[in-house]
Chain A
Amino acid sequence: MSIRFGLVESSVAVLPFTQPALWVALGLPCLLGVLGAWLRPQRTWPILLAGLPLAASGIVLLMIVEQHGLQRWQLEWGKLTVQLRLNGLSVLLLLLTQGLGLVAALYTPGELRHADPAQRRLERWLWPLLGILVGSLSLIWVAADLLTLYVALELMGLSAVGMLLLPGKVESLVAGIRYLLLALVGSLSYLLGVALILGHWGRLDLAGLVQVVEAGPVAWTAAALLGAGLALKAALFPLHAWLAPVHGNAWVPVSALHAALVIKASLFILLQLWSVLIPDSLFAAQLVAWLGVIAIFWGGGLAWRAVELKSLVAYSTVAQMGYLMVVFPLLLGPGIPASVQGLAWQGFWLYLVGHALAKAAMFLAAGNLILATGNTTLQGLTGASRQLPLSLLAFGVASVSLIGLPPSAGFTAKWLLLRAMVIQAQWAWVAALLLGTLLSAAYVFRVFRYSFVETAPHYAFRALPPWLDGLALGLALASLLLGLFAYGPLTLLQGSR
């Protein structure tokens, strides 16, 4: 597993372009964020123009990895060393982060223009926080030592909390302070785990730890501490209670980014650290998987009963994280055949990327529907099909991927995962995956049940600028097409071995 994360010696020397491109990818978002706070863009074309060099840096890094494979290097800074690695997985997630960050930035002026003026007091701060969030997420994908991961995790967590608080409503403040306190305690748990590792093995670089870690109480305790802290931040069941209020009360692009990337970053670190510390532990992976099974049904059930549109989308995140948790026993554990692990590895990341795109699209679409109808509940959507066809189309295409219907990324990923589970004869997980799919179809179709009520009176819906729908539809289509063109990303993931 650690090989798949690129924690091995690289055969290639670091290319001269790699570092500058990475600095652009890490630093430019923060710089643009400061610029955004100063200029407060009201239109989309300046944002698009500013995002171009960022996307260019991502594409340069993609080309480097495609041609030369894994790159690893370290930076010395006084007595401290910072380890970085760039492989197929990190480039894929980096591109995803840049894309979603750009879409969120493009959506922001539209959202702010329609927001209640009382809630716009702090809108200036959104831009730098967005920049720091994108920069720190990018750092998480490439960092390969525990210190850098800690710094990036904290930057990400604090900027995410800050962004969620900006509307300044009482509900968002109450949800935000709960999230803040839990996230802070989660990072202390992470820090204690790191302390155990540093005290026992005397090093923090993951590739070095792979060589020296042996199974034992220290590795297990450290894994438990790191796991608990990160599971709290990733809203893994049963530590998910803070998630829905936070998503329900934030600005739309902020909830989209948070659901799509921020909680996934903690999951990414969790899987990476466990594959270093407890690659052969049966119990931990099984525990996570069973919790995942409960999450699929618990989250699905809550989404099915949700009254508000945004909390439906938020609870569905709890359920969808459950699918990713169920894959753990196929990735970690003794005696998993390489072919099964390969399938599960590809399925896991494809599912994560597909879900990130679909969930962001769904939040944007839900935001559009709420902006247009001025009503946050599901019932407020009655009759929306006649007047808001584009927003509903975006929601529908996103839900195709979320449910896992062909040809979406959700379908391809679930197919890979099912194959791996069937080969391993893990029928319990197969059943959970299939029943969970039915359940997600059930709660998503509730939205359409309301919106296609034909006898509804004509409500006065607010007209939206077409590019708001365009952004949601674009993301939803990306998630759909990722299933058809999964070959490229999958070879990139496989090439990272």
Chain B
Amino acid sequence: MSATPPLFDLLLALGLVALALGCLFDRHLVRACSVFVGFALSMALAWWQLGAPWLALAEFSLGAGLTGCSLFYALGVLPPGSPLPSRRDWFREPFRQAAIRAVLALAWMGMIGAALRHSVPVMAYSPMQQPLLLAGVAMSALGLGAFALHRHLLRRLLAFNVLGSGVFLLLAGLTGTMAHAQALIITGLGVAWLGTLLGAMLIRRLYHLQGAKALISDNESIRQKRQGP
């Protein structure tokens, strides 16, 4: 545990969760991506606070810098002058499907939370001592829920990134910042960036080939269901 008073940790944790909420549930996609960059910068601050400067550097460059650029590339903001996909996601899922998906995701996260409480003694006795660990649980639950809920490909990419950050925070909270944990997290950050880049290139290509409707994943099955009786 760090020597600084937990007040700063608490504020950071609250800020992280608020930013995660902002970037996951804003339908205005450019704003959501900008909030994500802010989120990644706060993650870098959290790593610094946890005593892992290398992770902070990796998060700053990979998470905020390169992943942010990839997201803006997918949106057509970068490079300037690219064709612009729609900047808003107006797609509304049929309520029942959405509810079932979200409940399943949250149940899965609840199970993990229970297991964490069991395996980490600190969590059981005084959870407030570890606000960042709690933020990790909340962020991964939000990320998984949003991943299950959203159909827009870019929003799913965002949800994946938030889920990833939550998992990394959980990892660091569970293991401390030993060398192996840092190696795992840096690998994870690299993979998240590569995945986002690949996803962004795909989104651009799909938009180029098919227009905006291609960006809603699984739209085929939903459309068929709507046409059904």
**CB contact list, B153-196 vs A, under 8 A:** 153, 156-157, 160, 163-164, 167-168, 170-171, 174-175, 178-181, 183-184, 187-188, 191-192, 194-195
What is the chain A residue whose CB lies nearest that of B153? A177
What is the chain B residue whose CB lies nearest that of A205? B180
| Residue interface mask A30-53, B partner, CB < 8 A = 1 | 000000000000000000000000
In the complex, the answer to whether B198 meets A161 with C-beta atoms within 8 Å is yes
**Does B119 belong to the interface (CB within 8 Å)?**
yes
What is the chain A residue whose CB lies nearest that of B202? A177
In the complex, the answer to whether A218 meets B199 with C-beta atoms within 8 Å is no
Q: Which of B140, B175, B209 contacts A173 (CB 8 A)?
A: B209
* Interface size, A (range): 35 or more
Given A178-B217, A184-B192, A195-B174, A221-B112 contact (CB < 8 Å): yes
In the complex, the answer to whether A173 meets B206 with C-beta atoms within 8 Å is yes
Contacts of B188 in A (CB 8 A): 187-188, 191
**Does B88 belong to the interface (CB within 8 Å)?**
no
| Complex CA–CA separation, A218 to B116 (angstroms) | 8
Instruction: Tell me the minimal C-beta distance from A124 to chain B in angstroms.
Output: 16
| Complex CA–CA separation, A184 to B197 (angstroms) | 12
Interface SS majority for chain B: helix
**CB contact list, A204-221 vs B, under 8 A:** 204, 217-218, 221
Contacts of A176 in B (CB 8 A): 202
Contacts of B206 in A (CB 8 A): 170, 173-174, 177
In the complex, the answer to whether B205 meets A150 with C-beta atoms within 8 Å is no
What is the chain B residue whose CB lies nearest that of A203? B180
Q: Which of B119, B164, B218 contacts A200 (CB 8 A)?
A: B119
**Does B210 belong to the interface (CB within 8 Å)?**
yes
| Complex CA–CA separation, A151 to B144 (angstroms) | 23
What is the chain A residue whose CB lies nearest that of B218? A178
Q: Which of B120, B144, B199 contacts A180 (CB 8 A)?
A: B199
Q: Which of B187, B194, B214 contacts A151 (CB 8 A)?
A: B187
Given A180-B198, A187-B191, A174-B163 contact (CB < 8 Å): no
| Complex CA–CA separation, A180 to B157 (angstroms) | 10
In the complex, the answer to whether A225 meets B205 with C-beta atoms within 8 Å is no
In the complex, the answer to whether B181 meets A218 with C-beta atoms within 8 Å is no
**Does B31 belong to the interface (CB within 8 Å)?**
no
Q: Which of A80, A161, A162, A168 contacts B180 (CB 8 A)?
A: A80
Contacts of A204 in B (CB 8 A): 180
Closest 4 interchain pairs by CB? A199-B174, A79-B179, A221-B115, A195-B171
Sample of 20 more A-B contacts, CB < 8 Å, known A158-B191, A195-B170:
A79-B178, A79-B180, A150-B184, A154-B187, A161-B198, A173-B202, A173-B206, A173-B209, A174-B206, A177-B202, A180-B198, A185-B144, A185-B160, A191-B168, A196-B115, A198-B171, A200-B174, A202-B175, A218-B118, A218-B119
27 pairs from A and B in contact (CB 8 Å cutoff): A150-B184, A151-B187, A162-B198, A165-B202, A168-B205, A173-B202, A174-B217, A177-B153, A177-B203, A177-B206, A177-B217, A178-B217, A180-B199, A181-B153, A184-B191, A184-B195, A185-B163, A188-B164, A192-B112, A196-B174, A198-B178, A198-B181, A199-B174, A202-B175, A204-B180, A221-B119, A225-B112
